[in-house]
Structure 1
């Protein structure tokens, strides 16, 4: 009988959720975070004042610790990948619901660099260069260029390229009365400005 009551007492203690029984975490929900521009290590994330976890590069990070169905989350970012200027948590502090768990994300801002090179023989107007969705018109007489476009007045700067991103510069529109060709127009962006593209117009 002693053995019977001993086992019963242990079962009751576990039912009450005592940590000594192991498995004290009664969470059932996993927190997953959508990652934006996390392409290198360096970011750490914490939930509800717990441990900071290293976040590997990727599109989604899932915390190893679960939270209760009626619980809440409070996600904090620490550090950032070396190729970013900042990382911010969006929708990171709420009560856990099916909707709120799908809106958590960490957005990092990538460091970007100028992409350009040299132009020879350009005498006509109308030359337009393109890299992906970025376009830039190059005036006659230009001998060096980059694809950066800064509209000013707080407008979005376009044409700069982040480290390790592929690029492919093409002629979108030829200048009046001339034909231009591109050399060294494709590659992977270094962690610096790149002026290795050569354009020749005849």
Structure 2
């Protein structure tokens, strides 16, 4: 609370100083790009990102490689502002920081709204047919899963769009042989749900 109060007092002091010189206080709206849950600045990797300030007051296209952005329109003291992602790059989801994406100019000495982008990711899942024993071991890359007869289904964690997946049997159940159907490919724009493991007696 103290930090917020000091920030607002600093902003007010700056406004009063400018007003004393006969000027009108305006604020720049800018921000950095981050990736996933990281707070570190990251370059935009894919074309197509577009941001807006107060709807159609200003919209800007973000080039590949950009690490920050800045709107040319400045916001007058007391004026409301909203920064939104109008369009995310293909196969990517971007969003303006919800804690700072809207407000009014003068709350702080500057308006900084960071935008986080993440590659779309989806899970890989399926079922096991005719599993009569416990202990079936599966892997997707380095991620393991164990399937038992009481619940013959499995789900692997989400993987990014375009990344390969390959489900393999790493441990056979006792007295059974299990094979994989539809177990490999490249992740598209939807979860993979049609992997099947068929188990038989030798």
- State the TM-score, normalized to the length of structure 1: 0.47
Q: Which of these two proteins has the greater Rg computed from alpha carbons?
A: 1
